[in-house]
């Protein structure tokens, strides 16, 4: 981390020199001695900070020495700017992805921050004419100077706000939160530009990471299809940037582009992590919506994202990676056009909403219902509160986790899938164990004897909290993801269509309630042996499903490898996928249960 901190300082210094050099030198002559001395000092610092004994920094040190020579010989500003730009680009390629804000503070709150922290030096309008400006040397920055602003990156402004500038009056605003610092950087970075009421969407997609890393001038010359007036409009009014970046497909394309860069830099593990994020933080969230429009396109993109992840892990697959990346990005663009140009019908929204709730809620309902029914049949009504406490606390915890992820911390898709995968595996193992236990009580005489000798003492000895844990796991693993899916679905609907999403949700609750009522009513009337036998197979099926979904979630998070079957077999409802890992895990459940049944029959026969 200290190494990256050094890199950020060099990036900041290089940009400052590139921007301010022409205010010190003109036509080979010094026009501001204080500024020129600062240029000499900063270039010397860059040379010192790049004088580290490794091959990569050695090449940077050569650029730093060239910069120092250019400044000491008073060369043209364009030459100095070119060298500083090369330094920044080289260092930015080495830097990890920065944690960026999901949104900025409101205009009013940001202006208040500027007024309270910056206006005394920079002036209330940012022109560098604050009440304290006359006594400062070098003079405070005039943020309305367009030429200067065109060469200044938002990252440079953020670092200046965060760390201050040595040998100047600019302090480090360590008391501000990260979001406040970014909001100030975006605010002062846009004062030199005018917003455009006609600007609705950039003609070329650009990642927020690149937007903050590079100056408007660099973006306009290096990004094909991105117009200068669009850059200026977005600098002046950046809220559209954050709207676009919140799009799942924009996130997918951004992460894939970053993965490609990491691969070229031979950072294969980082490339794989970014490819995982491309699916989990982006594409997965719009799968339901895309499925309603073009199922084949959805399946093709999903398959290519898996292939990309495998290719990014292998240094020998450069050619395959490039062609696959090109095909996938083209498909993502097609999907984006499809989602933009066509809106989901009212019926499709209703159906998608219903399917989300049924798919995510049915397994949790069956687990909780099985636990409740067992307790009622064993006449342990007093233990029901432990099950109810488990699933109710899971609902609260799930929504709380989502709220925290939206406002305070960022929970990545990979972390979410790991959490879900581990929870599903624990639930699968616990359900398998309970199923085996219940099968051993299918004999009515055995059951009555067990009730009299064991059930009360065992439930009082800690099993009750085990029921709470199982109930909690079964529900919590579904809630967070369900909320994310509904959030994504709502972005595909107009406000007038929200009622159809809500209708699908309520109808789903009604369907789940009918299923619960029917199962409960049927099960309580079964003879005790038949009840336990039926419940045993229900729990076995749930264990089988959850084990498959556990492996799938851990594969999506990159924790477990993916070895595809020679044929494609995907049955999402029962967790069956086309990988050897998933099939082997689910077969293990079946084999272990079969062995138990075989042993049980032999024991009875003897």
Instruction: Provide the CATH number for the domain formed by 107-245 in this structure.
Output: 1.10.760.10
* 32-51 per-position pLDDT tens digit: 888 899 899 999 999 988 88
With vertex at residue 583, the alpha carbon angle to CA 581 and CA 585, rounded to the nearest 5 degrees, is 70
Q: What is the pLDDT of residue 457?
A: 46
Decide if pLDDT at 282 tops 50. yes
Label residues 150-174 b or e (16+ Cβ within 10 Å = b): bbbbbbbbbbbbbbebeebebeebe
Q: What is the pLDDT of residue 97?
A: 65
Q: What is the pLDDT of residue 439?
A: 62
Cis peptide bond N-terminal to 138, omega within 30: yes
* 315-372 per-position pLDDT tens digit: 777 777 888 888 998 888 888 777 765 556 677 778 778 877 887 777 778 778 777 8
Each domain of the chain, given as residue ranges in start order, spans 2-94, 107-245, 248-341, 346-605
CA distance 191 to 59: 36
Q: What is the pLDDT of residue 4?
A: 58
Contact in structure between 61 and 44 (CB atoms under 8 Å): no
* 457-495 per-position pLDDT tens digit: 445 545 566 677 777 877 877 777 777 677 767 766 666
Length of the chain as a residue count: 606
For the segment 511-525, the average pLDDT, to the nearest whole number, is 77
Confidence of residue 68 (pLDDT cuts 50, 70, 90): very high
Among the listed ranges 181-190, 220-229, 304-313, 453-462, which one has the minimum average pLDDT value? 453-462
Q: What is the pLDDT of residue 30?
A: 92
Report the chain's mean pLDDT, rounded to a whole number.
78
Instruction: Provide the CATH number for the domain formed by 2-94 in this structure.
Output: 1.20.120
* 123-168 per-position pLDDT tens digit: 999 999 999 988 888 889 999 999 889 989 999 899 899 988 877 8
Find the distance separating the first CA and the last CA of the chain, reported in whole Å.
67
CA distance 1 to 42: 23
**Among the residues of 292-411, which ranges form H helices?**
295-312, 318-341, 346-377, 384-407
Decide if pLDDT at 67 tops 90. yes
Contact in structure between 124 and 191 (CB atoms under 8 Å): no
Q: What is the pLDDT of residue 245?
A: 52
Decide if pLDDT at 409 tops 60. no
Q: In 3-state terms, what secondary structure has residue 571?
A: strand
Q: In 3-state terms, what secondary structure has residue 75?
A: coil
């Amino acid at each position: 981390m200290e190494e990256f901190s050094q890199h950020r300082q060099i990036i900041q210094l290089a940009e400052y020199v590139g921007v301010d050099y022409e205010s010190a030198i003109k036509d080979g002559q010094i026009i501001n001695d204080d500024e020129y001395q600062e240029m000499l000092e900063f270039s010397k610092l860059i040379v010192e900070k790049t004088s580290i004994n490794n091959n990569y920094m050695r090449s940077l040190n050569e650029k730093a020495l060239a910069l120092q020579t250019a400044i000491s010989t008073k060369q043209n500003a364009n030459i100095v700017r070119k060298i500083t730009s090369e330094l920044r680009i080289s260092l930015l390629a080495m830097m990890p992805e920065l944690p960026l804000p999901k949104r900025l503070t409101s205009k009013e709150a940001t202006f208040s921050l500027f007024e309270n922290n910056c206006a005394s030096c920079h002036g209330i309008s940012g022109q560098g004419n604050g009440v304290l400006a006359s006594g400062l040397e070098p003079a405070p920055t005039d943020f309305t100077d367009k030429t200067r602003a065109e060469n200044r990156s938002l990252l440079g402004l953020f670092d200046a706000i965060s760390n201050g500038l040595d040998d100047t009056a600019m302090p480090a605003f360590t008391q501000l939160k990260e979001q406040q610092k970014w909001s100030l950087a975006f605010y002062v970075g846009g004062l030199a530009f005018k917003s455009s009421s006609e600007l609705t969407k950039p003609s070329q997609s650009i990642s927020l990471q690149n937007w903050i890393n590079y100056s408007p001038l660099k973006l306009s010359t290096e990004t094909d299809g991105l117009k200068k007036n669009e850059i200026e409009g977005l600098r002046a009014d950046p809220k559209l940037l954050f709207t676009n970046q919140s799009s799942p497909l924009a996130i997918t394309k951004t992460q894939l582009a970053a993965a490609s860069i990491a691969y070229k830099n031979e950072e294969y593990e980082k490339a794989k992590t970014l490819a995982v994020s491309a699916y989990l933080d982006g594409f997965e969230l719009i799968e339901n919506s895309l499925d309603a429009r073009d199922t084949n396109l959805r399946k093709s993109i999903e398959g290519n994202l898996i292939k990309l992840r495998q290719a990014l892990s292998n240094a020998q697959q450069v050619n395959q990676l490039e062609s696959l990346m090109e095909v996938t990005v083209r498909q993502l663009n097609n999907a984006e056009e499809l989602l933009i140009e066509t809106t989901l019908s009212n019926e499709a929204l209703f159906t998608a909403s219903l399917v989300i709730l049924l798919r995510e809620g049915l397994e949790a309902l069956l687990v909780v219902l099985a636990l409740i029914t067992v307790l009622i049949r064993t006449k342990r009504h007093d233990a029901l509160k432990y099950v109810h406490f488990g699933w109710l606390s899971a609902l609260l915890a799930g929504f709380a986790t989502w709220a925290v992820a939206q406002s305070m911390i960022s929970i990545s898709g990979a972390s979410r899938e790991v959490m879900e995968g581990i929870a599903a595996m624990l639930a699968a193992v616990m359900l398998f164990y309970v199923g085996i236990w219940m099968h051993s009580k299918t004999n009515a005489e055995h059951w009555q004897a067990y009730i009299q000798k064991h059930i009360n003492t065992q439930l009082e000895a800690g099993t009750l909290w085990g029921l709470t844990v199982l109930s909690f796991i079964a529900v919590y693993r579904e809630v967070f993801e369900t909320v994310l899916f509904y959030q994504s679905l709502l972005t595909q609907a107009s406000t007038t269509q929200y009622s159809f999403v809500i209708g699908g949700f309520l109808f789903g609750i009604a369907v789940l309630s009918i299923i619960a009522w029917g199962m409960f009513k049927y099960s309580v009337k079964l003879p005790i042996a038949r009840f336990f036998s039926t419940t045993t197979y229900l729990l076995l099926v749930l264990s089988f499903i959850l084990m498959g979904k556990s492996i799938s979630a851990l594969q999506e998070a990159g924790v477990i490898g993916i070895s595809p079957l020679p044929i494609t077999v995907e049955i999402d409802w029962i967790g069956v996928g086309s990988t050897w890992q998933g099939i082997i895990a689910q077969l293990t459940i079946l084999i272990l249960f079969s062995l138990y049944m075989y042993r049980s029959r032999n024991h009875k026969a003897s």
